[in-house]
Amino acid sequence: MPNSPSGDPAADPLLSRRALVGGAAAVAGAVIFATLPGGAAGQSAPPAPSVPSIPEAPPDPTKVLGAPTSATSGRSPFVVTGRSPTGAVSGSSFTPLHQFTGNITPTDLQFERHHAGVPTIDPTSYQLLVHGLVGREMVFTLDDLMTLPSVTRVHFLECSGNGRVGYKGIKPDLSPQNIDGLLCNAEWTGVPVSTVLAEAGGVRKEAQWALAEGGDAALLSRSIPLSKLQDDALLVYAQNGEPLRPPAGYPVRLLLPGWEGNTNVKWLRRLELNREPNMSKDETSKYTDPLPGGKARIFSFDLDAKSTITYPTWPNRLVGQGWVQVSGLAWSGRGRITAVDVSTDGGASWIEAQLQGTSSPRAAIRFTHMWKWDGAPATLMSRAVDETGYVQPTFAEFRAARGPGTDYHYNHIRSWKVAADGGITYGGEA
């Protein structure tokens, strides 16, 4: 995908935005990224989790000098956390949802999912081709994108297979990380796709879809309706205030707020505008959901409202009777979360939980509920309601609608059983 060889934008069908704009601003972007680590994660077996050594804390920290300043900070050695990777090259790493608080996922704990490993892409040679039914076909460098007006928004991102083990692999010793760890909520910075399409001379009237293709060895591609691209889609290059990390799509990924994770194509290298969907392997043999009666659901982009309790859950144990703060996360691909209800008696009764902060469209929000445990066995549940009036379904309702063979978009209510001795296990179908 070379730039226009003649240097005359008006004469060449494939135009480089650098040729049109150029200038010091683009060079500034190159300088910024030239100083950043560009190496991708290894494409061999995942490394064994490291266990930090725990130093001996002084009896009175006010009586001794502390550690010196450092180039980058790390977590306290008393905090042990980490993702849970699966697979060698193609696989997933699950976010430890039960080990942090607040609404934003720490960047290094964001889940990852890829089909052919994490590619190593040099930011100085990165190019995005925009072609097909546009006014003029163009190539954008990373510098080009960084000089365009940017926006910063908070949105959740969720793999379409998130929750599979809580539906098909039910067992007591499952944590929120095991079940719903293919989820993150982050602050994203990038350029609206609508801006890039305008730079490319606009969209021809017959265009209805676009093929988004990644630059990894899997060449993952998805067909995206043009309406979504022009509505709220972003080409993001930063997350939580820093450049995207390689597993998250460095240097540029597509972000489609509220849509299933695989449509948010990472390492994006091409947007081709078309009349019809491409029907690629990633939307026919994969990510098409089998339903009862021999039917299948395809192009089910929006993620339904969902919630999950993150504390108390397995492997926690309540140490005594008294007040317990039940806490969790809720999100919806169709807008804001308006309410989260919590039940402590297996769904016999519900009470509205407190939302922590202001609910934003297609962003996760934390909920809390103070519960006084009397020492008796209990079953904890949560259900989310979004601004469309949609209510998170029970396990039975979900199974009746989707069948046992469904393979994506598991948003049924989760339950957690509290035993009289304080032990907590995943409740499965309760």
pLDDT tens column, 157-178: 999 999 999 999 999 999 999 9
What percent of the chain shows pLDDT beyond 90? Answer: 79
* Average pLDDT estimate for 385-411: 96
Segment among 26-40, 109-123, 202-216, 304-318 with least mean pLDDT: 26-40
pLDDT at 33: 33
pLDDT at 9: 38
Most confident residue range from 77-86, 302-311, 421-430: 302-311
Strand partners, 141: 127
Q: For residues 379 and 418, is the Cβ–Cβ distance under 8 A?
A: yes
Q: For residues 263 and 212, is the Cβ–Cβ distance under 8 A?
A: yes
pLDDT at 25: 38
Q: For residues 174 and 166, is the Cβ–Cβ distance under 8 A?
A: yes
Give residue-wise pLDDT tens across range 293-334: 889 999 999 999 999 999 999 999 999 999 999 999 999 999
CA distances 357 to 272, 385, 389, Å, are: 39, 16, 20
CA angle in degrees (0–180, nearest 5) for 85-88-89: 105
pLDDT beyond 70 at 348: yes
pLDDT at 53: 76
Comparing 22 with 47, the larger pLDDT belongs to 47
Alpha helices (H) along 67-133: none
pLDDT beyond 90 at 47: no
β-pairing, 337-343 with 322-331? unpaired
Biggest distance spanned by C-alpha atoms of the chain: 78
What average pLDDT does the chain have? Answer: 89
pLDDT beyond 80 at 236: yes
* Average pLDDT estimate for 403-430: 92
Residue indicated by tokens 């309406």? 227
pLDDT at 52: 64
pLDDT at 87: 82
